[in-house]
Structure 1
Amino acid sequence: MNFATWPPLLVVDVEGNGTTPPDLVEIAALPIRDGRPDTSTAKAWLIRPARPVTAHAASIHGLTMDVLEDQPRWPQIADTVRSFLATTWIAAHNAHVEYRELGRHLPGWAPAGAIDTLRLAKATYKDLPAYSLDALVRHVQPDLTQAPRAGRHRATYDAYATAQLLLAMAAEYDTWDQLIAVAVPPRLPGAPEPKKDPTLW
């Protein structure tokens, strides 16, 4: 895979407060440059949600209302997040979630495309017993020595792990077009157009 052919791409991850629909409490956006995660230009935001973090959500990511007490509300950072994401390609594990929640919080936001590393993993590593982020890390064993110290289930760590998995899987494909053909779910931006039947008018 020639990574120089890739368009600008951000690996994103979001964490919510556990309500339905969720308020965002953390966003991470990690650029991929020259086939590597570029932590020097990565961005992350903590957000104090309008509704309290549920006990279940806090038990997963550790972001309680006390932790978030001094963080900005969403309207204070929305324009900054929108500007950083711009119309860049995004990648995420189970990208439907990030695409849906970022889109709900940023009306009119339209990424160029959305790679789903869950979908990509199912195409690349057939017949694995599980395709969760943890299961793929165990299978691929990517280098996570430079991962943020925040740890699993925090947006910065999960975005870094997803980026390393994406790069490992991308090495199994010769071109960008081959990659997105299997990695972009139908109905998400960037999905290849279905081939037309030449026998039909």
Structure 2
Amino acid sequence: MRQIVLDTETTGLEWRKGNRVVEIGCVELVERRPTGRTWHQYIHPDREFEAGAQEVTGLTLDFLADKPRFAAIADEFLDFIEGAELVIHNAAFDIGFLDYELSMLDGRGRITDRATVLDSLELARQRFPGQRNSLDALCRRLGVDNAARQLHGALLDAQLLAEVYLALTSGQTELGLAGPAMPEPSVARIDLPRAAALAPRPRVAVDPVELEAHLARVAAIRGRAGTALWDDAGAPAPEASAL
């Protein structure tokens, strides 16, 4: 599956008031793995920023003065997202703005003519009902480093959202615990020895270094996924552990 994690920045909060897109950032995932391919563009909006919007993005009309209009980059953008599933946080906002931009161009249609859309905000609300589910809040909750996010930027936010989305939807597999798929075993009858014939299992004391590494790994999993498999396994306390 090819997915594009997408974010936009705009001159204001409402496209119905004529606000425009000023930045688009995209990050490509294939089979839930980042490919390293991104698409990023600043866009001249042909209008002023609304009060507050400029402070959020740090962008200015002076900076955007030599940037292309949306019409000049529309085909390249549409080619990049063609056939993908778009992962967007609060998708109605971004799709509304992008469809508004496309409506001013002949023959470009709508975003959903080119791609399907998955709203990561709705996924977050299902997993964390009643909690704050902004991108910053999810970064903190899922252990995604967002220290570089001093201002809203479309490409940086798309990169952070990609990490959040993978942690939100797969947890432990994103920490490298998922190996290659194994073939299904064939069904066969196995004659097991009777319990009385089994030799006692030896108890081996856990090496302190190995135990420390194991606990650090479990803590990393818990930070990303909210829980770890071992939390529910009924494992003995560390000082009594044996292999």
TM-score, normalised with respect to structure 1: 0.73
* 2:60 is equivalent to residue 45 of structure 1: no
The alignment partner of 1:42 has SS state of strand
User: How much does 1:34 deviate?
Assistant: 4.0
Preserved contact between residue 95 and residue 115 of structure 1 (Cα < 8 Å): yes
Preserved contact between residue 26 and residue 45 of structure 1 (Cα < 8 Å): yes
User: How much does 1:170 deviate?
Assistant: 1.2
* One-letter amino acid of the structure 1 residue matched with residue 30 of structure 2: R
User: How much does 1:127 deviate?
Assistant: 3.6
The match for 2:6 among 1, 12, 19 is 12
Match of 2:138 in 1: 136
The alignment partner of 2:64 has SS state of coil
1:68–1:150 distance in 2 versus 1, CA, 3 Å: farther
* One-letter amino acid of the structure 2 residue matched with residue 10 of structure 1: I
How many residue pairs get aligned? The number is: 163
User: How much does 1:54 deviate?
Assistant: 2.9
The match for 1:28 among 14, 20, 25 is 25
Match of 2:157 in 1: 158
- Percent identity, aligned pairs only, is 31
Where does the alignment leave 5 or more consecutive residues of structure 1 unmatched? 1-6, 175-201
* One-letter amino acid of the structure 1 residue matched with residue 19 of structure 2: P
Preserved contact between residue 44 and residue 69 of structure 2 (Cα < 8 Å): yes
The alignment partner of 1:67 has SS state of helix
Alignment of 1:67-146 (within 5 A): 67-106=63-102, 107-109=108-110, 110-128=113-131, 130-143=132-145
After superposition, the CA RMSD in angstroms is 2.3
1:150–1:64 distance in 2 versus 1, CA, 3 Å: farther
Distance 2:109 2:18 in 1: 18
Preserved contact between residue 16 and residue 22 of structure 1 (Cα < 8 Å): yes
User: How much does 1:68 deviate?
Assistant: 0.7
Preserved contact between residue 7 and residue 94 of structure 2 (Cα < 8 Å): yes
Distance 1:164 1:118 in 2: 14
Preserved contact between residue 30 and residue 42 of structure 1 (Cα < 8 Å): yes
Which runs of structure 1 show a deviation greater than 4 angstroms over 4 or more consecutive aligned residues? none
Alignment of 1:55-74 (within 5 A): 55-74=51-70
Preserved contact between residue 143 and residue 164 of structure 1 (Cα < 8 Å): no
Where relative contact order (Cα < 8 A, 6+ residues apart) is larger, the structure is: 1
Q: Which has the larger radius of gyration?
A: 2
* One-letter amino acid of the structure 2 residue matched with residue 154 of structure 1: G
Distance 1:173 1:111 in 2: 32
Distance 1:111 1:45 in 2: 19
Q: More deviation in 11-20 or 40-49?
A: 11-20
Where does the alignment leave 5 or more consecutive residues of structure 2 unmatched? 103-107, 174-243
- 1:83-116 residue CA offsets vs partner (Å, 9 max, x unmatched): 1122321011101112222222224132432111
The alignment partner of 2:152 has SS state of coil
Preserved contact between residue 10 and residue 90 of structure 1 (Cα < 8 Å): yes
The alignment partner of 1:131 has SS state of coil
Preserved contact between residue 122 and residue 131 of structure 1 (Cα < 8 Å): yes
The alignment partner of 2:86 has SS state of strand
Preserved contact between residue 139 and residue 146 of structure 2 (Cα < 8 Å): no
TM-score, normalised with respect to structure 2: 0.61
1:15–1:9 distance in 2 versus 1, CA, 3 Å: same
